[in-house]
Amino acid sequence: ATAVHPARRLYGEARGWHVAQDALWRADTRVFDLAQFALPGAHNARNACAALGALEILGGDAVAAAPALARFRGLPHRLQWLGARDAITWIDDSISTTPEATRAALESLPGAAVTLILGGHERGLDWAPFAAWLAAHAPHAVIAQGANAARIAAALHVAGLAPPCADDLEAALRLARTLTAPGGVVLLRPARPASISSATTPRAADASPNWPASIRRRRAKSAGWVSPERPRARLDSDQSRQHGIQR
């Protein structure tokens, strides 16, 4: 039904807003260089295309507005760089809570040796498709933690992976520190929130005794934290998927 909607707009294809050659394009016009975009990952570049397409539908000048993307810094707890210590980078993606978002987060870190922390509150989602993908794109290490750690580990085991399980986020943090070599990345990606309250709002997540808060406490008390360079995925045209915007 949506394919014939009279106000249907598409992004991610050459005739509209799309990603190619490390830039955002409007049809055949190069509009915005992604080197200026602070948000990592092909999914965020596609989201920017969707936002610009929506602006056009509302009558705005999206081409003129595109440079404002250089000033957008994203939201707390969504691929938020906390810093680095002992040459290990720590990334908080704790509010993004689906397996699909976990895949997007990993794809935003091409070439990085990632230690992935998964698990928390049980929501009954199907882990099998993600587990199959993860087995084919295995990170440096995977740690399962929280109430659904055993279920995560079982799904990954079927796919050929054998992640260790941690009792809670603090234990997962300590284990990640041990497993991650200098130059690596620790990514908190629950794919389900550690608790309903800690995943509801950034303020609640800051207040809860979870991994991001623990890292912040340690960072406040310790010297040696630095702001790392953010690795960027190369956003070629074959990564720019077609999507629909409806009015």
Question: Can you list the domains of the chain with their CATH numbers?
Answer: 2-74+233-245 (no CATH), 80-221 (3.90.190.20)
Rounded CA separation 158/131 (Å): 8
Q: Name the token pair of 153.
A: 């580990």
Name which residue leads in pLDDT, 77 or 190: 77
Instruction: Kindly indicate the confidence band of residue 246, based on its pLDDT and cuts at 50, 70 and 90.
Output: very low
Q: Reply yes or no on whether the pLDDT at 101 is more than 70.
A: yes
Instruction: Kindly indicate the confidence band of residue 149, based on its pLDDT and cuts at 50, 70 and 90.
Output: confident
Q: Reply yes or no on whether the pLDDT at 64 is more than 90.
A: yes
* Contact between 199 and 95 (Cβ < 8 Å): yes
Q: Reply yes or no on whether the pLDDT at 137 is more than 80.
A: yes
Give backbone dihedrals phi and psi of 83, rounded to 5 degrees, phi first: 135, -170
Q: Reply yes or no on whether the pLDDT at 186 is more than 80.
A: yes
pLDDT at 192: 52
Q: Helix, strand, coil proportions of the chain in percent (round to 5)?
A: 40, 20, 40
Rounded CA separation 234/108 (Å): 9
Instruction: Kindly indicate the confidence band of residue 205, based on its pLDDT and cuts at 50, 70 and 90.
Output: very low
Q: Which whole number is the average pLDDT over 160-169?
A: 90
Rounded CA separation 203/205 (Å): 5
Name which residue leads in pLDDT, 107 or 221: 107
pLDDT at 55: 92
Rounded CA separation 111/91 (Å): 15
3-state secondary structure of 185: strand
* Ramachandran assignment for 12, one of left (phi > 0), alpha (psi -120 to 50 degrees), beta (any other): left
Whose CA is closest to 169, among 204, 214, 207, 125? Answer: 214
pLDDT at 69: 93
* Ramachandran assignment for 59, one of left (phi > 0), alpha (psi -120 to 50 degrees), beta (any other): left
Q: Reply yes or no on whether the pLDDT at 180 is more than 90.
A: yes
Whose CA is closest to 66, among 10, 13, 17, 12? Answer: 17
Token pair 């990952």 is at which residue?
A: 41
- Average pLDDT over the chain reads 77
